[in-house]
A = this chain, B = another copy of it.
Amino acid sequence: MLYLCPMDIVEISKVLSNETRVNILKWLKDPESNFPPHQDIDHFDDGVCVGFIQDKTGLSQSTISTYLTAMQNVDLVIPTRHGKWTYYRRNEKVIETYINSLSKEL
Contacts and interface: CB of A to CB of B under 8 A. Distances in A.
User: DSSP class of A's interface residues: helix, strand, loop or mixed?
Assistant: helix
Copies of this chain in the oligomer = 2
Interface residues on A, range: 20 to 34
Contact of A13 (B6, B17, B99, B105): B17
Given A26-B105, A99-B106, A102-B99, A16 B13 contact: yes
A103 B17 CA distance: 16
The residue among A7, A18, A19, A106 with the most chain B CB atoms within 10 A of its own CB is A106
A25 interface: yes
Interface of A: 6-7, 9-10, 13-14, 16-19, 22-23, 25-26, 95, 99, 102-103, 105-106
